[in-house]
Every structure is written in structure tokens, then in C-alpha cells.
Amino acid sequence: MSALPEYDTLLLSRQGRLLTITLNRPELMNAVNLRLHEELAEVFVFAAADSDSDVVLLTGAGKAFSAGGDINHISTNANNPDLFDEEVRLAKRIVFAMLDLDKPLVCKMNGHAVGLGATVALYCDVIFASERAKIGDPHVNVGLVAGDGGAAIWPQRIGLCRAKELLLTGDLLTASEAKDMGLINHCVAADELDDAVAAFCDRLLAGAQGAIRATKVLLNLELKRIVTATIDAGLAYEARSVRSDDHREAVAAMIEKRKPVFGEKK
């Protein structure tokens, strides 16, 4: 069995032919900084090439799956928006690396999945969430466009009308609400989550791997077409919004622990 690569913000482990990828910044609720962006862009490429695994499980260390953007990182980008241009390239690589992974990708959403954390969860194939978890994409609440892939994946999971309402308000859903509308697959009691996910992964591992992989590839063809058509525009709009007065106001409000007062009209 080949050795697993080591990362700064991710933990990799194998159990049989199950490869587990764990977001590993638990002290910050697995909030996404530049390094985690970089490593997420790499790890799914490794998973696709890993000859010692057939199923991939994605989860988070500690209490959260991923609480979205790291506030220090967001603040740095707001004050130096040109730095965001590198993240544009990384965001596109993350989404397509997930879509190009032909092995089943299961999400164990052990806690809240917010912003990019929600996007990463939703690009998994099957999502099991703790009943204590919430999920949402509040880009607009920090003056940003939801351009990192959310605008493509939310309508595919729950339809355009519901996706518009949730992305335009940035509201969070409980796991139960998300399951009822089809955004995620399963809402499970927190103390039953590990067993439920393990049983499902075992079922996939016992299946016909060639047929499972080819079926996933087929199912992803239309999704990849939609993402290809929208991702560049989405990231360009988000890059523009990083440079906006509303985004700078939202960052200042977060740091000062107050509500933002938005003023831009375009």
C-alpha cells in the first residue's frame, strides 16, 4: 500500500479501500485560508490517482465541517484584493477536481458547512449530516457574489426557485430542513452519524467498482457542462465584489462585531 501524502490543513487516512480526507483546522472550525484552498485543489487529484482506494470520505475535525472563510484571510483579501485572483484559480481547480474524481465521494457533515464549506460539501456525491449541523452560503451577507461554484450546484440539488431564495438571502438551513428539500441526502442523530456513514461506505465498497465509477461519470456529465458554462463568470463577479465598498464594510463589521451597513447599489 502506497504512502499517503502529508498536508498542513488536511489529514488523510485509509481503512481498507476507504480513503478519508479530514479538514483539519479544528481550532478555527476548519475555516478556509489560503493554505487550505491550495491543499483542497491538490487532494482530490491525489484521491483520483490513488490505486489503493475505491471510495473517498470527506469530513471535518472537531465540531464543524467547515465554517467558511477564515476572518483573517478574508480581511487580508479585502485590503489586498489582487490576492484573491490566485484564489479564483484555486477555486476552479477544487470544483473540477471534485467533479473529475470518478470514485464515489461521500460527505460526513459532522457540523456546520458554511460558504465555501457548503460548496465543497454539496459537490460530494452523497451527504450525511449530523442533525446538529447547519448549511448555507452567506456570500451576499459579506458583500460577495456566490461565485465559487454555489450558483451552479444549489439549483441542481433543489431547483432554481429555492436556490435563488437561499443564495440571495444567505440563510442557513438546519440539516433536517436541508434533507427535506433534497439539498442533502440524510440527516442523522449525531451519535449515529459515524455508523450510518460507515455502513453506506461499506455498501459502496462491496459493489461493482467499474460500474459505480462509470455511473458517477455519466451522472456528472451534465453537471460539468453547467459548471463549465458558469464558473468563470461567477468567479469574475466574485473577484469584482471583493473590491467593493460593501465587502470592506462587511469585513469591518465582522471585526467590530456589529451589523454591516451596506450602501452600494451596483
Does residue 118 form part of some domain? yes
* Cα 29 to the center of its chain, rounded Å: 14
Tens digit of each residue's pLDDT (9 = 90 or more) over 155-212: 999 999 999 999 999 999 999 999 999 999 999 999 999 999 999 999 999 999 999 9
Q: What pLDDT, on a 0 to 100 scale, did the predictor assign at position 80?
A: 81
The DSSP-derived string for 206-256 is: TS-HHHHHHHHHHHHHHHHHHHHHHHHHHHHHHHHHHTSHHHHHHHHHHHH
Does residue 103 form part of some domain? yes
Query: Side chain identity at 127, as an amino acid letter?
Result: I
Does residue 225 form part of some domain? no
| pLDDT at residue 113 tops 80 | yes
Q: What pLDDT, on a 0 to 100 scale, did the predictor assign at position 149?
A: 94
Q: Please tell me which residue, 88 or 251, carries the higher pLDDT value.
A: 251
Q: What pLDDT, on a 0 to 100 scale, did the predictor assign at position 82?
A: 82
| pLDDT at residue 139 tops 80 | yes
Does residue 221 form part of some domain? no
Does residue 261 form part of some domain? no
Identify the CATH number of the domain in which residue 102 sits.
3.90.226.10
Does residue 175 form part of some domain? yes
Does residue 259 form part of some domain? no
Q: What pLDDT, on a 0 to 100 scale, did the predictor assign at position 216?
A: 98
| pLDDT at residue 265 tops 70 | no
Q: How far apart are CA 39 and CA 203, in angstroms?
A: 29
Does residue 222 form part of some domain? no
Tens digit of each residue's pLDDT (9 = 90 or more) over 209-247: 999 999 999 999 999 999 999 999 999 999 999 999 999
- Cβ-Cβ contacts under 8 Å for 93 (sequence gap 6 or more): 41
Other beta carbons less than 10 A from residue 182's beta carbon: 11
Tens digit of each residue's pLDDT (9 = 90 or more) over 29-65: 999 999 999 999 999 999 999 999 999 999 999 999 9
Mean pLDDT, the chain, integer:
95
Q: Residue 44: which domain range? A: 10-209
For the chain, the domain total comes to 1
Give me the mean pLDDT over the 120-145 stretch.
97
